[in-house]
């Protein structure tokens, strides 16, 4: 398969791209990669697909959100979380649909905060929950046998900066998260949230 991985320089994206590359052609894209895209800019997404052409799978491992105590979260923080993590990946799907081959797939990244709370995590929870609901609904309307799933990890072993914010939470190695992307891309499931 020909697989486009957005965010392939990050912790999650690099692990997913490396594992997928064992069996597939992987095109790595991000703001700082040779194949350039800024998911917060719809025109940039269009330009990326115009240059990359048709792919069998699109994998997105991006999305940043502000972490602040609830009392300090302002409306603009929630908008920022929504604009980056949610609309960045939603626009990737809507702009990318015509560039994905029949029977292809999209796999987005959400996170445990869709279902479990932490202090400072309200904007992140909002974004992850919205994205998981989008995946559930969009899967029912995907044309040409195209599938869509989300990978929703707990905090990663490698993400040491976040460990203090997830006291007592299980941690997952990036290599395990990468396998969930392989399951989504190579499997038959759709509308699923792979939580780990």
Q: How many residues contact ligand NAP, by CB under 6 A?
A: 29
Which of 13, 66, 96, 104: binder of ligand NAP (CB under 6 A)? 13
Choose between 103 and 119: whose C-beta lies nearer to ligand NAP: 119
Nearest by Cα to 49 from 11, 101, 8? 101
Residue nearest ligand NAP, Cβ-based: 10
Under the criterion CB under 6 A, does residue 92 sit at the interface with ligand NAP? no
Nearest to 194 by CA among 80, 28, 182, 82: 182
- Going by C-beta distance under 8 Å and a sequence separation of 6 or more, which residues neighbour residue 190? 105, 139, 142, 147, 148, 149
Contact range with ligand NAP by CB under 6 A, out of 29-37, 70-78, 95-103, 183-191? 29-37
- Select from 62, 105, 107, 125 the one that contacts ligand NAP (CB under 6 A): 62
Residue 12 binding ligand NAP, by CB under 6 A: yes
Cα(107)–Cα(56) distance, rounded to whole angstroms? 11
The span from the CA of 82 to the CA of 102, in Å, is 29
Phi, psi of 89 (to 5 degrees): -80, -35
Quick one: which of 3, 10, 48, 91 contacts ligand NAP (CB under 6 A)? 10
In the window 166-195, what residues touch ligand NAP (CB under 6 A)?
Answer: none
Task: Tell me which of 155, 178, 180, 185 binds ligand NAP, using CB under 6 A.
Answer: 155
- Give the 3-state secondary structure of residue 24: coil
Min CB(9)–ligand NAP separation in Å: 4
* H helix or E strand, kind and range, residue 95: helix 88-96
111 contacts 67 by C-beta, under 8 angstroms: no
Binding status of residue 121 toward ligand NAP by CB under 6 A: no
Candidate ranges 17-25, 33-41, 74-82, 178-186; the one touching ligand NAP (CB under 6 A): 33-41
Cβ atoms of 32 and 9 within 8 Å: the answer is yes
By CB under 6 A, is residue 30 in contact with ligand NAP? yes
Q: Which of 41, 62, 37, 38 is nearest to 51 (CA)?
A: 37
Q: Which residues bind ligand NAP (CB under 6 A)?
A: 6-13, 30-33, 37-40, 61-64, 85, 88, 109, 111, 153, 155-156, 159, 162
């Amino acid at each position: 398969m020909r697989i486009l991985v957005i965010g392939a320089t990050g912790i999650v994206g690099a692990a997913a791209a490396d594992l997928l590359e064992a069996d597939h052609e992987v095109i790595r894209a991000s703001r700082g990669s040779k194949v350039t895209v800024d998911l917060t800019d719809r025109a940039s997404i269009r330009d990326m697909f115009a240059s990359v052409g048709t792919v069998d799978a699109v994998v997105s491992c991006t999305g940043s959100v502000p972490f602040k105590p609830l009392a300090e979260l302002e409306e603009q923080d929630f908008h920022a979380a929504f604009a980056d993590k949610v609309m960045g990946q939603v626009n990737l799907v809507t702009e990318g649909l015509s560039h994905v081959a029949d029977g292809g797939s999209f796999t987005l990244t959400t996170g445990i905060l869709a279902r479990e709370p932490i202090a400072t995590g309200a904007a992140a929870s909002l974004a992850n929950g919205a994205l998981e609901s989008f995946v559930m609904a969009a899967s029912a309307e995907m044309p040409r046998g195209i599938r869509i799933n989300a990978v929703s990890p707990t905090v990663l072993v490698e993400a040491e900066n976040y460990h203090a914010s997830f006291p007592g939470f299980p941690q997952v190695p990036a290599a395990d998260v990468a396998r969930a992307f392989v399951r989504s891309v190579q499997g038959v499931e759709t509308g699923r949230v792979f939580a780990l």
